[in-house]
Homo-oligomer: A and B are copies of this chain.
Amino acid sequence: MDFNIIRCARAILHVTDLEASRKFYVDALGFIETESDDGHIYLRGLEEHTHHSLVLKKADQPNVEVLGYKVASEKDLEALAVFFENEGHSTKWVEKGEQHAIGRTLRVHDNSGLPLEFFAEMEPVERLLQRYDLYTGSRMQRIDHFNCMVPDVEETYAFYRDKLGFACSEYTETEEGNVWAAWLHRKQNVHDVAFMNGKGPRLHHIGFWLPDQLSLIHTCDVLASMGYGENLERGPGRHGLSNAFFLYLRDPDGYRIELYSGDYLTSDPDFKPIKWDINDPMRQTFWGHAAPDSWFNEASKVVDMDTGKEKDLTAGKLKQHKPTFVI
């Protein structure tokens, strides 16, 4: 392929109450609020050198507007547009200036219907990695990955791998030999995006990187002391898949946020993807804790970029195993 996708880079989430969101993301989790206006809050982690990785946008109901990936250059954007058009996907350019602090973006749907956005340029800002005096809450570092529920994982996986150039680090296989879930990366850790079988297209969660395990534990303590105990949905625990230390939260609009720390380097082209058997009880969450039903059933709907309305959902093609070992 003649384009180079760098990494998962930002998401735009529609939220119903900016103040409630600010309290959760900034006061509790310690995101840096780069900027805000009446309709938006722009958030980033302490390590990030560009304007934001999360946009909270005031709306009447919570929906995912778009999942954004950074590409290497403007030239890659052009090549991606050609590619998607050739594949029969409609494309849409959002010109520089139409969105705050970001260059021109290309918007498309992937083959599962998820709304994507590609961009090469975002306004640089001061990186706060060594401003330890500003570290609070979770000591939020950077965006790490998207996790999505899609009806046909094998088809989506093939599209990202064969057409977009993602590599697979780990996957889950059913007893019939189907891929039930897959973890795919462009940057050199476990994933930029994962897909799992289920009613979709929906966003299951966005993962953010934390510096260490104790930051996740402290997040639990901070959230509990602020009255957010019920927002702690799952964890902390160790993932079998990815080996990361994890914690799943629900934000005030119900979006699921994963705090994630400590997976591994995936630089080597000869790294053999790790297969997990969906029926092997030893392959569940590494310590054996079950995920709650909400974690399995609930996910966020996405906006159709053409109609501006919620995308319709299709049931998962494979059996709905309760994926306690899925991350």
Interface residues of A (CB under 8 A from B): 6-7, 27-28, 47, 49-50, 70, 72-73, 121, 124, 129-133, 135-136, 141-142, 187-188, 211-214, 217-218, 220-227, 229-230, 232, 236-238, 240, 243, 245, 262, 264-265, 267-272, 282, 286-289
Contact = CB atoms under 8 A, between A and B. Distances in A.
Contacts of A229: 282, 286-288
Nearest to A27: B133
A129 B232 contact: no
A269 to B, nearest CB: 5
A73 B55 CA distance: 40
B243 A130 contact: yes
Contact of A135 (B212, B222, B223): B222
A271 B47 CA distance: 12
Nearest to A47: B264
A187 B265 contact: yes
26 contacts: A7-B268, A27-B133, A47-B264, A49-B271, A49-B272, A124-B272, A130-B240, A131-B225, A133-B222, A136-B136, A142-B265, A187-B265, A187-B267, A188-B188, A188-B267, A211-B262, A212-B214, A214-B214, A217-B238, A220-B237, A221-B287, A224-B238, A224-B287, A224-B288, A227-B282, A236-B236
B225 A264 contact: no
Copies of this chain assembled into the complex: 4
A220 B133 CA distance: 10
Given A136-B136, A220-B286, 13 more contacts: A121-B270, A124-B270, A124-B272, A129-B264, A130-B225, A130-B243, A130-B286, A141-B264, A217-B245, A220-B238, A221-B286, A229-B282, A232-B288
Given A6-B268, A124-B272, A264-B129, A286 B224 contact: yes
For A28, A238, A271, the residue with the greatest tally of chain B CB atoms inside 10 Å of its CB is A238
A218 B287 contact: no
Contacts of A217: 213, 238, 245
A230 B289 CA distance: 9
A231 to B, nearest CB: 9
B132 A225 contact: yes
Contacts of A267: 6-7, 187-188
A288 B233 CA distance: 10
Given A236-B236, A287-B229, A72 B269 contact: yes
Nearest to A211: B262
Contacts of A121: 270
A268 B70 contact: yes
Which 5 interchain pairs have the tightest Cβ spacing? Answer: A229-B288, A132-B221, A132-B225, A187-B267, A188-B188
